[in-house]
Amino acid sequence: LCGHSELLVIALNLIQEPAPKFIQVVKNLRVCGHCHEFTKVIAKIEQCDIVVRDANRIHHFYPNGQCSCQ
């Protein structure tokens, strides 16, 4: 988790609310490949929508493990 702010935000949201329906993350840098794959897995495991807005696009991770950017 060190150095990946979006992972820390998602982990904190899951600690505060064990069964969230929606998580939104806004950051000013690009999302790395590791964080992208991790967020897809978490969205599938937790069955929640996760939206990550980075410098270039908006990634919408669906509960089925898919991302809007494919």
Task: For the chain, 70 residues long, give each residue's pLDDT as a single digit of tens.
Answer: 567 888 888 999 899 988 888 999 998 888 888 889 999 999 999 999 999 998 889 999 999 989 998 7
Say what the pLDDT of residue 1 is: 53
pTM for this entry: 0.84
Distance CA 31, CA 26 (A): 10
> Domains in the chain: how many in total?
1
Dihedral of alpha carbons 67, 27, 7, 23, sign? negative
Which residues contact residue 42 at a Cβ distance below 8 angstroms, ignoring those fewer than 6 apart?
A: 10, 14, 50, 61
Which domain range does residue 48 map to?
4-67
pLDDT of residue 70: 79
Distance CA 23, CA 29 (A): 18
63 and 48 Cβ atoms separated by less than 8 Å: yes
